[in-house]
Each structure stands twice: as C-alpha cells, then as structure tokens.
Structure 1
Amino acid sequence: MLPRRLVLALLAGLPLAACNARGPATVAAVDPDAAWYIGTMPDQPYDVPLVDRSRMDPKYRRQTVAYTGLERPGTVVVDIDERVLYLVQEGGQALRYGVGVGKLGFSWKGTATVGRKGVWPDWGPTAKMVSLNPDLPRTRKGGVDNPLGARALYLYQGGRDILFRIHGTNEPWSIGEQMSSGCVRMLNEDVVDLYNRVPVGTTVMVKRNGKYRV
C-alpha cells in the first residue's frame, strides 16, 4: 500500500519531502518528484517508494561491474568524483550503486567503519547545518518524507560517530549530483539492498581525487 503522503504527492502534485538541500517542503503546482515513482516495495513500518530507473543515467543504476581496486571483499568504497559507491565482491567484481554527494566544500573523505545502522531513522541537522539555516527543524521522525530515507549507515572512527552517513533520499533526481550537506545519499531501494548486505563493523573508504586521505 502506498504511504498516504506519497499518494497525495502523486495525485495532487505536493512535494514529497524536505531534505538537506532544500529545507522544508512547500506546496507547488507541479511536483517534479512525483513522476519519478512507479510503485512501492513492501517494508516496515513504511513501504519503500520505487523509482523509475529509466529516468536515470544508466551509470547510476545498481549493477555488477568489474573491479580492479585493492580493497578486500566486503569493503564499501565511495568515489566522490564519479558519484558511485562500490561494495567489493570476490572475483574482481563489485556491486555499484549511484549516489549523490556533498556540495563543494562539504564532502568528507577518509576511512571509517559502520558503527551502527538505522531503519527509517529519525533525522536531525548538524550544528553546521543549523548555523547555515537556523530555520531547519531540530528533528524529524522517520518516514517517507524524512531526509535520511529508508535506511542509514552511521560512520564511526575510533568508536565515535563522525556525523557522516550513507542514507536513502526522497529526492531521486539528486543521484549523480553534488548537492547534499555532506553525506552520501542513495535511492531508498538501493540503500535497503546495501543495508542488508553490510554488517556493523564494515570498512568504508571515501575517496576524492583518487585519494582517501585528507
């Protein structure tokens, strides 16, 4: 069953959600987001909106590709420049997902681990985001119109949350773009797939200009 807010968006042209980039949603005569959705995937406590992948650049569709990197199987590798995330597999292959990344000056790079995982997680802005936009809500409950989407992987270094996430998005058109407040965003159906494959403790390497170190 379609979530009520998604039904309203599809039928009435209302924005699906606020997000890190745009702030609170506003009523619009025509909602470009609604045309991206073709149904839902069963999930709890909300169904996951499914995206019409034919609208995407084929590069950003989930697929298995050849992989020549030196990282161990099971490692997550994010290439900020290419706007893709790899989950390294055995036999010189990787699952590749399209992602959206941080605006210039907001992206983080380095090596971390998945410290915890969240299902339809609540969202709250970082102190930096609040300083840039004081009108941001201080918290938003999980759901289809939450900026973190259906799943989130929280990255840690030395046992501490570094406030960098790999998460879903309610703005599918932003995949392949450089416009978030720093985190890596994925289609909701893709982040569910990755969530199911990646345990807590997984190594995550985020690179820019071919390098992981700042």
Structure 2
Amino acid sequence: MSVTRRVFGIMGLAGVSAGLSACNGGGLPVFGSVAPEASAAPPPAPRPHTPRSARYDAIYGEFPGEPFPIAAFDYTQMDPRHLRRSVAYSSHEPAGTIVIEPADYALYYVEGGGRATRYGVGVGKEGFGWNGEAKVAVRRSWPDWIPPREMIERDPTVAPRLTQTARGMGVPGGLDSPLGARAMILAANGQDSGYRIHGTTEPDTIGTNVSSGCIRLVNQDVIHLYGRTVQSNRVLVAA
C-alpha cells in the first residue's frame, strides 16, 4: 500500500484525496484518558494566558549548546493547556508510546504508572489531518526540509526557498528550516509516511490547525521529546 501525505486509515494508510475531510470513518481505539484534573476543555473566550513562573522561564528560555540559537519566547501569551507538563494519564499502552490527540492539540508521551508528559502541538489544516498507527523510523537533529513535489506544485512560495542539499532540493537544517531543531520521521507499513513530528520557531502556531499533516512542537519541547525517543517508538494518532 503506497504512502502519501493523505489520510491515515486505522492501523495503516488509506489513499484518500487531500481535498477531502481530514478523517475517515471509524477512527481508532481509545488509547488513554487524562485524569479529570488534567482534561483539555474547550478554551474560554478570551483565550487564557499563563502566569509567569520560574519553572516555565527555565523550560522556555534560551536553549544552550545547540549549533543554532534557540531563543526564549513569551510563553505567558500561550494557553496554559499547551505548555509542557506531567499529567495523570490512564492507558493500556506501554511506556514510550506517543499518543497524539489532534482535537485537543496534545501529544502525550506515556511514562507508565498512570503518568504521561503532555506537550502542546500544532496539527494539520482542514483536509490534511490523519489518524492511525505509525512508528518513529528516523531521528534527525536540525534536519534539512525536503518538501514533496505536491507541496511545491500547490504552493508557489516554496520553490524560491529551495537550494541543493545532501538529500535533494530543500531548505538546509538551521533557523530557516520549517522542521526546526529536531524531527522524527514516521513510518507506516514499512514505508515513510511523509509525516514528521518536528520543531518550530513559531510558538503562536501551537494549538492551531496549521500544517500539511505534520505534528509540530516548539523547539524547546521537541528537543525534550526527542531525547526520550528511539527508532521504533510507537505513535498513535486519534481520529
């Protein structure tokens, strides 16, 4: 079964036109549930902001020791649900499983013992969402971004940004790369799915439907998640 950037079917891939609805019927089994005190409720209006704290000053401050600078950002302007935190999480999935709940803009790294780390994410735009099972096939630090041909044809602003890289025409890893500081390439049915979990320098896109199907985290969070993953981590994306 071919791998495209289109909708994932249950436990695999289904070739559905990218112009159709983001999710096909059926969905996935329940992977886990957040304890009531950690549940993600619809955001009130106006959007809540986060009080400043020493803990988040440290988490979302400048990140040293990288080949490219990772700047601090004003996390107080983000909905507090989208900031990294440990939560009570009931699941039958083993520790190390990554569970993504696009509707809640949440990625859970299952730790076992009824706990998980929750990260806020940006997800696919209408028509680019997906659901199903994959695994982390390749892990890359400051990866080059090689857009697929369909994206280049769809978006005329992409081609002028591309230069020759070791992996083809793209944007070299660094501050200009849309993949940010880290990327985890996801495979399904033994093939590259075309989707990635990756970083971003645009924290205002967390909690939004923004991508062509990739799951994005702020650079500070994707580095934290990357350090806990290995090739073969199971990834489950809810419908």
Give the TM-score normalised by the residue count of structure 1. Answer: 0.76
Structure 2: distance between partners of 1:92 and 1:159: 31
Q: Decide whether the 8 Å contact of 1:145 with 1:170 is kept in 2.
A: no
Partner residue, 1:129: 151
2:148, 2:102 → 1: CA distance?
21
Aligned to 1:92: 114
Please list, as runs of the form range in 1=range in 2, the aligned pairs for 1:51-90 lying within 5 A after superposition: 51-90=73-112
- The residue that corresponds to 2:68 in the other structure is 46
- Counterpart CA distance in 2 for 1:156 and 1:143 is 24
SS in structure 2 at match of 1:105: coil
Q: Which moved more, 1:155-164 or 1:174-183?
A: 155-164
Deviation of 1:171 (Å):
1.2
- Residue 198 of structure 1 aligns with which residue? 229
Runs (4 or more) in structure 1 with deviation over 4 Å come to: none
When structure 1 is superposed on structure 2, of 165-174 and 66-75 the one drifting more is 66-75
Q: Is the CA contact (8 Å cut-off) linking 1:49 and 1:188 kept in structure 2?
A: no
CA contact (8 A) 1:117 1:154 kept: yes
Aligned amino acid, residue 206 of structure 1: V
Q: How do 1:1-214 residues align onto structure 2 when only pairs under 5 Å count?
A: 40-137=62-159, 138=162, 139-208=170-239
Q: 1:212 — aligned with what?
A: none
How far off is 1:179 after superposition? Answer: 1.4
In the TM superposition, residue 39 of structure 1 has moved relative to its aligned partner by 5.1
SS in 2 for 1:191: helix
Q: Say which SS state the counterpart of residue 48 (structure 1) adopts.
A: coil
Asked if 2 retains the 8 angstrom alpha-carbon contact of 1:65 and 1:94, the reply is yes
3-state secondary structure, aligned to 1:131: helix
- Structure 1 regions of 5+ residues with no counterpart? 1-36, 209-214
Question: For the residues of structure 2 that align with 1:51 and 1:204, how far apart are their CA atoms?
Answer: 28
CA–CA distance in structure 2, aligned partners of residues 171 and 132 of structure 1: 22
SS at 1:116's partner residue? strand
Identity percentage of aligned residues: 44
SS at match of 1:129: helix
RMSD across aligned positions (CA): 1.6
2:103 maps to amino acid:
D
Separation of aligned partners in 1, 2:87 and 2:190: 32
Alignment correspondent of 1:15: none
Partner SS state of residue 54, structure 1: helix
